Amino acid sequence: MCVAIAGQVGHVTGEGIERRAVVTVGQVQREVSLALLPEAAAGDWVIFQSGFALRTVAPEEVEEWNALIEGS
């Protein structure tokens, strides 16, 4: 089973479908594609899965999202 995770967008590179970002989750950083989420910018919180950012979320939602993940 794949689980989507919330993380904060850091450095963004590329343009169009080649846009990528370093996303921080706790102490871990992952590189993810922003091809499906062109409006994402540094500092935004995103939900990502399988290397793709799927949607932006408000910081308040991140706490709820993480609680759901940790509770399962």
pTM of the shown model: 0.84
DSSP state for residue 15 in the 8-state scheme? S
Measure the CA–CA gap between 66 and 3, rounded to whole angstroms: 11
Percentage above 70 pLDDT, the chain: 96
Tell me if 10 sits within 8 A of 20, measured CB to CB. no
Measure the CA–CA gap between 51 and 72, rounded to whole angstroms: 22
> Domains of the chain by range and CATH?
5-71 (2.30.30.140)
pLDDT tens across 2-20, in order? 778 899 999 999 999 999 9
Tell me if 29 sits within 8 A of 47, measured CB to CB. no
pLDDT tens across 28-38, in order? 999 999 999 99
Residue 9: the pLDDT is: 97
CB-facing half-sphere around the CA of 30: CA atoms within 13 A: 18
